[in-house]
Structure 1
């Protein structure tokens, strides 16, 4: 590669190279000046684990740290929250010069969300087990104090949301189990009343007195059989006395005259006693037969009543088990609410408060200007290469051989005179000077005849993204 040749060709087109470099450098300088200063303030939070061991007392809020932080982030970035923060801190109170109108609520919310950054990281120990959850909250603003103020306000909202969410969950858990205890108490009272009413209604046919009634039935049946024998014996005696009286009608008249007083014989008295005794026996037997029927009916009803009573008692037992469990859960919920009320459970605490940054985070003006110069140099080299390629002139023997297919014996370069060199140099310098003067004159005319440069800058800022233009 003939470096001297390429260097000479580059030097011949160096004015175009310098022109492009100047233009790009000017653009980089303008961009570095137009882009507003942005300060970023950040605060560091940490999610602390429960301060009381779970073996002693456990919080009723079992939300994972990652899930809780996601919920809090969505609540913080809600429309009402962001509008409230923007209004209280007066972030958008002043209308930008050159802006056609104030920002709408939707634009404010979109801009706030683009400027707020909530980044969650999980610090892991050597064993790979999660050790701590860190949360970095940041906000960018053209004013350092405002960036710090908004960041600290967001931190305050995060802490308030954390406490509110955990206490609300703990309180709702306690209220739920309190309602469960009251509901089960009422259900137990209803089932107990139903069991009592059933027992009162079927007092004589309950399963707990079945054996006693069976024994009573056996005794009563034996007594009825005994009374039947007594009744048969008395009836037989009465019949015998009646037959005896019929067979001795004639003799009975004499005996009645000689051996009785008032016309009543001993046989008649005996017969009247037997009739009275028979009546007593008959009444007792009827009463006992009625008792037998009653006992038989109650005994036959007992299995059905036993099934119904067992179902009622089983339902009562189930409700009682649920009630005992609900009482135990209510006690745990009360303990959990106390833990959250005293902030002894999992909580978010502040490690570093946001402070006003000493230096802006962006833009990096030297880097932008250097990028403009670098881009200008690349573009200038590209322009020189394109110009040389498009001209297609013969500049060295190799070009002649390549174009005509002949090998020259010798080449005589064109040697410009001193006057031609001066003229070419003056033309190049004059072209650059004229270009620079034209640019300066154009800027001056725009500033004086069209619009001042400061207003043009404000209009450019108004058309930039919202987070860059404030």
Structure 2
């Protein structure tokens, strides 16, 4: 197999030497076409700019960042939006030869492929945030346009980054202000509820408990003393009333009985002048007289309301007793009214003291709730202040210092295509074209190229026999040859 390959190679080399025109013509044509294509192909020029974003120069230990450090990837997406790219195409008249034949989306994709956006971010330190660098480039056939578009892209990145940061800072401030307003309203509503609770339970505040308990003890002591005084006054009044009734009854009964006894005795004396002692009338008078005398000797029971007794004609002793009763009764009524008032006050104080524990528990919960709301409000106010500082910093361009390290310049040399490489490729293609020309010419040639063609044509038949001649040494050949 290797001998066959070597023989074929040797054959085509001999054919190339015999008929070089078969290789020269295709090679020249291929070289000419390749050179024409290489030198007529549009060459692309690449312009690039370098920017550095020094994010959050203020130490984070002194000023907490309120707006997240912008990521260039997000800015890249905004810059490479279709509307921005179409604006660039209209501004710099990009790809005028194909602008009317493709859609806006295809034109934006074509421009996007010519843009290079590479960013790197350094690791943040303990005091300062990270720095971000970005290389922004544009590739186009016109070097002036490439530099102008690259510079426009750099400016778009800077302006869009600032607009995003300021917008986000403003949004953060507005959001935090709304949150502070909601927390303030909630805190004020709770303050009103707490004030109403304190006002409704001002008498049961924990600070008043010692005074309240002391007042309860004093009222109980006063009530005990008042009960003793009322009991004594009631006893004195009862005694005076009993004495008055007894005196009035005794005085009243004694006078009446004496009159009746005197009348009966007078009647008895008159009847004795007429009748004897055994006469029934005399005996009846005597019996009545004895009964009245016995009744006069019995004590009179006090009963009835002494205020309904007619006080005219009383003895000086009974009149004095009546005056004492008139003075004692209002005093007793006043003491009883005072006792009722004192009892009501004591009951109110005990009820208030009973609510003291609940009020203290509720006040503790209110205090915890107030501290929590106040802490949240203070934290939110601190965030609002920090957000406003961040907004001012963003508006002043002091939070992110964007520096253009390398301004896009007009490129002097094209970046692609590489003519040397392409010419080497053209030379290789010309060699292949020459080899292909030799092969094709030999393929379509009707002549017998060698013994291998005879083998195929004769299909194993012997055309003639060639004897083997002895060599110079005189030895016969090893065999015969066939053709």
TM-score range with shorter-chain normalisation?
A: 0.7 to 0.9
1:312 aligns with 2:366: yes
Judge conservation of contact 2:138–2:150 (CA < 8 Å) in 1: yes
- The answer to whether structure 1 residue 167 and structure 2 residue 195 are counterparts is no
Shift of 1:191: 1.3
Partners of 1:342 and 1:372 lie apart in 2 by 58
Give the 3 Å change call, closer, same or farther, for CA 213–80 of structure 1 in structure 2: same
Structure 2 Cα separation of the partners of residues 180 and 9 of structure 1: 93
Deviation at 1:351, TM superposition (A): 0.8
Distance 1:393 1:210, change over 3 A: farther
What is the CA distance between 1:145 and its match in structure 2? 0.9
* 1:200 aligned onto 2:203: no
Q: Does 2:329 align with 1:326?
A: no
Could you tell me how far 1:70 is from its partner in structure 2?
Answer: 0.6
CA distance in 2, matches of 1:320, 1:124: 38
Per-residue CA deviation, residues 259-290 of structure 1 (Å, 9 max, x unaligned), is 73xx9632222222221221111010010111
Distance 1:398 1:110 in 2: 59
Q: 1:62 aligns with which of 58, 68, 78?
A: 68
Counterpart-to-counterpart distance in 2, 1:87 and 1:358 = 25
Residue of structure 2 in register with 1:147 after alignment: 146
Count of residues in correspondence between the two structures:
398
1:51-450 equivalent positions in 2, closer than 5 A? 51-63=57-69, 68-91=71-94, 95-96=96-97, 101-121=100-120, 133-249=132-248, 260=316, 265-382=319-436, 384-385=438-439
Quote the residue 1:22 is aligned against. Answer: 28
Kindly indicate whether the alpha-carbon contact (under 8 Å) linking 1:121 and 1:134 is maintained by their aligned counterparts in 2: yes
2: CA distance, partners of 1:70 / 1:222: 85
Once the two structures are TM-superposed, the CA of residue 226 in structure 1 deviates from its matched residue by 1.8
| CA deviation after TM superposition for structure 1 residue 159, in Å | 0.4
Q: CA deviation at 1:398?
A: 9.6
Unaligned runs of 5+ in 2: 1-5, 256-311, 470-483
Q: Hey, what's the Cα distance between the residues in 2 that align with 1:83 and 1:294?
A: 85
RMSD of the TM alignment (CA)? Answer: 3.7
Q: Distance in 1 between matches of 2:57 and 2:314?
A: 120
CA shift digits 1:1-43 (9 cap, x unpaired): 6787653233235322223212321331232244222222111
Shift of 1:390: 8.4
Contact 2:139/2:146 (<8 A) preserved: yes
In 2, are the aligned partners of 1:162 and 1:347 still within 8 Å (CA)?
no
| Mapped contact 1:163–1:347 kept (Cα < 8 A) | no
Return closer, same or farther for 1:48/1:392 CA change in 2, 3 Å cut-off. Answer: farther
User: In the TM superposition, what is the alpha-carbon distance from 1:124 to its structure 2 partner?
Assistant: 8.8
1:134 and 1:345 map into 2 onto residues whose CA distance is: 16
Listed as ranges, the gaps of 5+ residues in structure 1 are: 412-470
8 Å Cα contact 2:99-2:107 kept in structure 1: no
Alpha-carbon distance, 1:151 to partner: 0.7
Q: Deviations over 1:130-162 (max 9, x none)?
A: 985431111122211111111100100000011
Q: Cα–Cα, structure 1 residues 379 and 132, in superposed 2: closer, same or farther, change >3 Å?
A: farther
Q: Is the 8 A contact 1:159 1:349 kept in 2?
A: no
**For 1:196-244, what per-residue CA distance to the aligned partner results, in whole angstroms no more than 9, with x for missing partners?**
1222233334444334323322221222222112111111111222233
Higher-Rg member (1/2)? 2
Secondary structure of 2:414 counterpart: coil
Alpha-carbon distance, 1:54 to partner? 2.0
TM-score of the aligned structures, taking structure 1 as reference length? 0.73
Deviation at 1:100, TM superposition (A): 10
Q: Which secondary structure state, in structure 1, belongs to the residue aligned with residue 52 of structure 2? A: strand
CA distance in 1, matches of 2:185, 2:204: 28
- Structure 1 distance, partners of 2:23, 2:39, is 24
In structure 2, distance between residues paired with 1:156 and 1:80: 16
Q: Is the 8 A contact 1:162 1:348 kept in 2?
A: no
SS at match of 1:265: helix
Q: 1:59 to 1:203 in 2, by over 3 A?
A: closer
Note if contact 2:247-2:318 (Cα within 8 Å) is conserved in structure 1: no
